Amino acid sequence: MSSKGMVRAIFLVVFAVWLMIWVMLPTKLYKNTWTPNLENTLNSTYFSGQAAFGCAYLHFQNKSTDSSNHSKRLGLDSATALLKRPVVVMAPLGIVSALELTFAAMFVALLIWSLANYLYVSFGNLHMHKEGEKIWEAKLRSVSLRLGYIGNICWAFLFFPVTRGSSVLPLIGLTSESSIKYHIWLGHLSNILFAAHTIGFIIYWAITNQMAE
């Protein structure tokens, strides 16, 4: 394996681990077992290592000039080209390929999984924040809070589609130019989730007489 291929493989592993952490984040296992261990082992050198890998990747990327390597770098093999064929053409989504539809479905599945786990854990350990608070009011507060957590997931992915010279997008056959729509979709979705988060808390404060506070 070439040096460039090795760096790309390392980035793919790091990205896969990062995705796995987001999948595990809303679970009891992550909160009770993983979080203490991560806090004890992770420090700023991790981010320095990422920056070093990024510099190495861009260095090897710039050295590759022939068209065949360029095509491989962008993931333009036959399998990816097949997935890039349009399958949906409608407003306001525009032209959506099978690859884009697959990633969109996977991301929606991540949001649903995360919200379901957050609510499962929180409803099993409801804490009354005010004397006389009813169970449905506590659940409303919990749902509103967790909608904000789900909005954070959108923000975590928000700038991947617009990162020029990305070492992640080419691994899955995408470029920043072709995936700007993801940035727009994530922005709209995060606004909707944070608006729901805000409205939910305003309603909760109103029904529990905490608006003045």
**pLDDT tens by residue, 136-169:** 899 999 999 999 999 999 999 888 888 877 767 7
CA 40 distance to own-chain centroid? 24
* Predicted confidence band of residue 54 (pLDDT cuts 50, 70, 90): low
How many whole angstroms separate alpha carbon 14 and alpha carbon 174?
Answer: 18
**Which of 1, 8, 5 is closest to 168 using CA atoms?**
8
Is the pLDDT reported for residue 64 higher than 60? no
> Three-state DSSP class for 64?
coil
Report the pLDDT averaged over residues 177-205: 91
Res 121 pLDDT > 80: yes
Q: Is this model's pTM higher than 0.75 or not?
A: no
Give residue for tokens 């009813």: 134
Q: How far is CA 145 from CA 13, 115, 151, 187, 198, in A?
A: 32, 10, 10, 19, 9
Does residue 70 carry a pLDDT above 70?
no
Average pLDDT over the chain reads: 78
Paired tokens of 86: 């349009």
Asked whether 123 and 142 are in contact (CB, 8 A), the reply is yes
pLDDT at 199 over 90: yes
| 158 vs 36, higher pLDDT | 158
Predicted confidence at residue 194, as pLDDT, reads 97
Higher model confidence: residue 76 or residue 148? 148
pLDDT one-digit tens code per residue, 17-33: 888 888 888 888 887 88
* Higher-scoring residue by pLDDT: 59, 161: 161
Q: Which residue has the higher pLDDT, 181 or 56?
A: 181
Exposed e or buried b per residue across 74-87, where buried means at least 16 C-beta atoms within 10 angstroms of its C-beta? ebeeeeeeebbeee
Distances (CA, A) of 94 to 71, 109, 179, 180: 25, 21, 12, 12
Between 78 and 98, the more confident residue is 98
Residue 145 CA to residue 151 CA, distance in Å, equals 10
Q: b/e per residue, 136-149, with b = 16+ CB within 10 A? A: ebbebbbbbebbeb
Residue type, 111: L
| C-alpha to C-alpha distance for 205 and 213, rounded to whole angstroms | 9
DSSP letters, 15-59, are HHHHHHHHHHTTSHHIIIIIHHHHHHH--THHHHHHHHHHHHHHH
Q: Is the pLDDT of residue 193 over 90?
A: yes
Name the phi and psi angles at 164, rounded to 5: -75, 145
For tokens 């349009």, name the residue: 86
What is the reported pLDDT for 76?
45
More confident call, 40 vs 50 = 40
Check: CB of residue 173 under 8 Å from CB of residue 84.
Answer: yes
